Amino acid sequence: MPADELHKILCPRCACEIDVEDRFCRRCGAAMSGDQAAASAAPVAPPGGSPHSRGKILLLLFALFGPLALPVLWRSGRFTRAEKIVYTVLVSIATALVIWILWWAVDRFLDTLRQLRELQQMY
């Protein structure tokens, strides 16, 4: 376990990882008392049902909101910087691919409509 993690605790309100010496949570501003710091001084993983779990963030990113979920990814402390960069690139590529497929489908549909109009004008 890295030495940095030994000096971290979890905020009781938002489960954000903060330094033991911090008097307030950097994310939600909750006041930290000495008792809370002593009680949670050992590194503890946030509960799996947390709204910021890795699985839920990846679901938001790839299945539901795509690039609109990137701020959630970048604010999360559950991913390394390298993972955030990789996921951002993958989401950008996937988004570009979806936009291209939609453009292609609409273009095909419009071509079909043009052909039908030409056929109608012929008869």
Average pLDDT by stretches of 10, the chain with 123 residues: 61 80 78 58 44 75 80 84 92 92 95 93 84
pLDDT at 44: 45
pLDDT at 102: 94
Distance CA 72, CA 62 (A): 12
Short-list 28, 68, 3, CA closest to 11: 28
At residue 32, φ and ψ (nearest 5 deg) are -105, 125
pLDDT at 105: 95
Q: Would you kindly state where each structural domain of the chain is located, as residue ranges?
A: 1-44, 49-123
21, 42, 65 from 39: Cα distances, Å: 13, 8, 37
pLDDT at 78: 83
